[in-house]
Amino acid sequence: MARVDYSERIPNNVSLADNRRLLRALEEWQPRYLDWWNQMGPDGFQARDVYLRTAISVDPQGWAHFDWVKMPEYRWGIFLAEPEPGRTIAFGEHKGTPAWQDVPGEYRGTLRRLIVTQGDTEPASVEQQRHLGRTCPSLYDLRNIFQVNVEEGRHLWAMVYLLHAHFGRDGREEAESLLQRRSGDSDKPRILGAFNERTPDWLSFFMFCFFTDRDGKYQLASLAESGFDPLSRTCRFMLTEEAHHMFVGEAGIGRIVQKTVELMREHKTDDVRRFGGLDLATIQRYLNFHCSVSLDLFGSEISTNAANFYTAGLKGRFEETKKTDDHLLREATYPVARPAGDAITLVEEPALTALNERLRDDYVADCQRGVDRWNAVIKKHGIDVELKLPHRGFHRAIGNCAELRVSPDGRVVGQAEWDARKHEWLPTPDDQAYVASLMVPVVEPGKFAGWIAPPARGINSQPVEFEYVKLSVRAGEEGRRG
């Protein structure tokens, strides 16, 4: 069961061959997916051999398969984690009853909406990142972004499988729409805000992987608790892929910070731009931006949607089954940030409607651990500066603080102070132009752009100077596939 059958057109571990109708529907979707990938996937590298990891089974050892693959030939497939025999619903009003193998009729619309919202983020991120290959800081990083991209494509497959297998005709229509919306498009944008932002450079990309993919981790972990077992199982497997994306983000920013502090020490200055580096103040402004748009992805602090998802048993808390309370939350309260005058204070609210905020808290604590590791690099170089997460009210478009101006240290400020100081807090046009000026491709194996340190080790025990993407291509091939 754990092994994936790669002899089939759509690799899977869900016995697709036994369900002819579903197989046919997915086989019809497959060429449209490939059209989307060729149109919106990584620009300019579709004919190149990339050293990619492919899942060959859903157990941890199954990840050990690395090979040269041209991205359009990547074996996107359908992989669900192994079923847990006798699994029951862990929370909400159906607590203790067997997990659903089919969609409960009363929750059909809600569940479909959750799956579509999750699914929509996956192609969106590929679209956001599609031009970055052309300015890669190294072949190692180029391979990593492509790994992330193909896995986001696979996550789309994961959600499309659920839509096709469990939601009949409207599921198929939603699967089509997932290929129609476009990140940043004014007529048919992606559903959630952060997925319509631009990712124009590699500093933004690494921040995106650190902050936005981490939202993915927390949302997927909550959906992995779902009483709808196929969703739970697919999210459990997706989480294993998500871990690599966050590694790319954390390690990427860590390597930038490393290079920055090396330049600061060498030249005895904070102004490392003169030496082709990214100064810590710019890194902080990008951090502020990406953190704030990712905080929005958790929804409003007080949400009846979230309460309903929970009570219905559709979406749990992070590590729901490890918690020791009643898993109903009818009486419990939870502290929620709320503006009061020019400060933001914590107010106890019913825990059930505060579930988005609770998940955001789990997320912020996880982000802080990563920031601490970056700060350890700075400190090790004897530099007395710390990167900081902005206050959760800063630069928000969703929730209690959406209508306010809040400084990164959590003060509600007037429009005048905001206007006067926002250039200190968010990337400025000058920052963006400077970062853009650094985006010069470095494609010689083992070489790295001057603003980022090499990684400590390569991929899958290969040396750092390994040729992770083969850029040489036979004459005529690029015209056809590139």
DSSP element (H, E) containing 475: none
**Only segment of 93-101, 212-220, 251-259, 337-345 that touches ligand BYC (CB under 6 A):** 212-220
Residues 6 or more apart in contact with residue 272 via CB below 8 angstroms: 260, 263, 264, 278, 279
Question: Which region, left, alpha or beta, applies to residue 155 given φ > 0 means left and ψ of -120 to 50 means alpha?
Answer: alpha
| Residue 119 or 408 with smaller CB distance to ligand BYC | 119
CB of 190 to ligand BYC, least distance (A): 9
The C-alpha atoms of residue 347 and residue 272 are separated, in whole angstroms, by: 43
Residue 334 DSSP class = E
* Distance in Å, CB of 410 to ligand BYC, minimum: 21
Options 48, 55, 122, 338; binder of ligand BYC; rule CB under 6 A: 122
226 lies in the binding site for ligand BYC (CB under 6 A): no
One symbol per residue from 288 to 307: x for binding ligand BYC (CB under 6 A), - otherwise; what is it?
--------xxxxx--x-xx-
Min dist. Cβ of residue 111 to ligand BYC (A): 10
In the complex, minimum distance from the CB of residue 246 to ligand BYC, in angstroms, rounded to a whole number: 10
Which lies closer to ligand BYC via its Cβ, residue 157 or residue 451?
A: 157
Separation CA 274–CA 258 (nearest Å): 17
User: Counting contacts by CB under 6 A, is residue 92 touching ligand BYC?
Assistant: no
In the complex, what is the shortest distance from the CB of residue 183 to ligand BYC, in angstroms, rounded to a whole number?
Answer: 11
DSSP designation for 134:
G
Query: Binding to ligand BYC by residue 207, rule CB under 6 A?
Result: no
How many positions of this chain bind ligand BYC (CB under 6 A)? Answer: 25
Residue nearest to ligand BYC (CB): 299
Q: Is 40 in the site for ligand BYC (CB under 6 A)?
A: no
Residues β-bridged to residue 337:
346
Residue 55 CB neighbours (<10 A): 20
- Residue 156 CB, nearest distance to ligand BYC (Å)? 9
Question: Whole-angstrom Cα distance, residue 397 to residue 300?
Answer: 10
- Residue 391, Cα to own-chain centre: how many angstroms? 21
The distance of closest approach from Cβ of residue 303 to ligand BYC in the complex, given in angstroms and rounded to an integer, is: 3
Q: Does residue 189 bind ligand BYC (CB under 6 A)?
A: no
Cβ-contact 309, 110 below 8 angstroms: yes
Q: Residue 392 to residues 206, 207, 349, 359: CA-CA distances in angstroms?
A: 20, 17, 17, 13
DSSP one-letter code for 337:
E
Chain center to CA of 196: 13
Position 431 contacts ligand BYC (CB under 6 A):
no
Binding footprint of ligand BYC on the chain (CB under 6 A): 114, 117-118, 121-122, 125, 152, 192-193, 212-213, 215-216, 219, 296-300, 303, 305-306, 315, 356, 398
